[in-house]
Chains A and B, each alone.
Chain A
Amino acid sequence: MLDRFPSDIAPSPEALESRVGEEMVLLHLGNDTYYGLDAMGTRIWTQLKAGTPLPAIRDRIAAEHGLDARTVEADMAPFLDDLLKNELLVHG
């Protein structure tokens, strides 16, 4: 399911972030989009910024939460789609 995402996607350099507790708000300076991340989204975003490959992010979350990798993928995919749609993720 994550295979359809290019391996070079990365947070946009136009994206600013600000922490609110365990959550985060992103601002895309180019299109003035604000985007709220819950704790899990914040975790994924943080790892994307660190350059962690998507399969590794999936595996870490699955291991930490005792979940099946495919279940994590099913949640990650629409989240990544949304970030791409809002240009918060771009091709690195």
Chain B
Amino acid sequence: MEPDELMPSVTWTWRDRIGTAAGRPDGMPGHHALHGEGIGCALISMDDRSVRLREPEGADEATVAQWIADQAVPRILAHLGEFVVHAGAVQAGDGRVALFLGPTGRGKSTLTGFLHREGWTLLGDDAARLSLQDGQAVAGALYRRLKLLPDSWNRLFPEPGTPPILTGRKVSVDLDAVLDPVAPRPVAAIFRIDMPGDTREPVAHRLSGAETCMELVRESFALDPTDRGRAAHRLPLAAAVAAAAPGFALSYPRDFAQLGRVRDLVAATLDRTAHARLGP
């Protein structure tokens, strides 16, 4: 990452719910631009796999590095053909992986952090790389990281001196370094985290395959979301993953005291999916 005052003008073509914008730098084929709120404009070259940043908009270096890890790297990997979705991923003791899909603020990190505290293995709290291996949907995370608001962190990890193993590792913009993921593991179920609404207790409703596919596409990363060819590439990947792993809509009260019941529901759902595969 290098500060660069000589940024070209950019034609912005897309903006997401949290203010990330994507566009094309004028007159620079092979390049893309991303803009993050409070971060600035990043110029991405697919030729030399570099990210150059204009004078940051007040963000410190750690924040910028985190933004690159959260927003730029998943999109670059997606541009290179991977299927990367905005999801938390945890692995139960028997190896089954649960994915939690949802936009920022829906509770992925809190739930994955809670499950990690309860002995499940955290693969990641924000992005998962999905693919198929021998007909089985598998997930790998980009990096083990848990990013929580202070209140959630203190509720989940109140013990003083909690080892900072989850606060993230240093993330490089060197793709060859980033391309060292957690090994892909089999996905047992995909949960869409819904808004709690009037839910008084945790509930999980089965999604159809088409609904699961559309959720995966909706939460997938893209460097240029207007790129038709790559959209066409993502659709069959999402469909294949949705056909291989059942989807559920998960709703629960946003109350820390209820997270144990959410854990039980997720575990029971994973059990049912396992039995469904083994049964007649």
Contact = CB atoms under 8 A, between A and B. Distances in A.
Contact of B209 (A16, A20, A29, A34): A20
A45 to B, nearest CB: 12
Nearest to A30: B228
A16 B234 CA distance: 11
Contact of A36 (B208, B231, B232): B208
Contact of A29 (B217, B231, B236, B242): B231
B132 to A, nearest CB: 13
Given A16-B232, A18-B239, A25 B208 contact: no
Contacts of B209: 20-23
Nearest to A21: B209
A38 interface: yes
A35 B222 CA distance: 19
Interface in A31-83: 32, 34, 36-38
B203 interface: no
A39 B211 CA distance: 12
Contacts of A23: 208-210
B238 interface: yes
B233 to A, nearest CB: 10
Given A18-B235, A18-B236, A34 B217 contact: yes
Interface string B211-228: 111100110000001101
Given A16-B232, A27-B232, A36 B239 contact: no
For the residues of A in contact with B, the DSSP-based class is: strand
Binding site secondary structure of chain B: helix
B243 interface: yes
Q: Is the interface on chain B under 10, 10 to 19, 20 to 34, or 35 or more residues?
A: 20 to 34
Contact-residue size bin, chain A (C-beta under 8 Å from the other chain): 10 to 19
A25 B235 contact: yes
A19 interface: yes
Given A16-B235, A19-B239, A20-B242, A29 B228 contact: yes
A88 interface: no
B158 to A, nearest CB: 42
A32 B209 CA distance: 20
A27 B210 contact: no
Contact of B243 (A16, A20, A29, A38): A20
Contacts of B238: 18, 25
Contacts of B212: 20
B189 to A, nearest CB: 15
Contacts of B235: 16, 18, 25, 27
Interface of A: 16, 18-25, 27, 29, 32, 34, 36-38
8 nearest A-B pairs in the assembled complex, by CB-CB distance: A36-B210, A20-B209, A18-B239, A23-B210, A29-B228, A25-B213, A21-B209, A18-B236
